[in-house]
Amino acid sequence: MTWSDTREVGEKLFEQYDTLNPLTVRFTDMHKWVLNLEGFEGKPDGSNEKLLEAIQMAWYEEWKDEYGDGK
């Protein structure tokens, strides 16, 4: 799993931080969390804002399916 696996990374973040609204997470925090995911092999400097946004949106889709828009 690398930075370009945005859907898979987002799903893994949801598994670890399932109650946290991903839209409230700073990219600096999310970057650290992604690097610490089991099975993640991307390099720390391999991300960019576009990839982090895609990961955040994948995570948000998982969160929204579980909790809806209003939580």
- What does the pLDDT look like over 41-71, one tens digit per residue? 999 999 999 999 999 999 999 999 998 865 4
Quickly tell me which residue has 């946290």 as its tokens.
20
What single letter denotes the amino acid at residue 60?
Y
Asked if residue 26 has pLDDT above 80, the reply is: yes
- This prediction has a pTM of 0.92
Longest dimension (CA), the chain: 35
Which domains, from first to last, does the chain contain?
Answer: 6-67 (1.10.10.600)
User: By three-state DSSP, how is residue 56 classified?
Assistant: helix
Question: For position 68, what pLDDT does the model report?
Answer: 80
- Residues 6+ away with beta carbon under 8 Å from 48: none
Alpha-carbon distance of 14 to 9, in angstroms, equals: 9
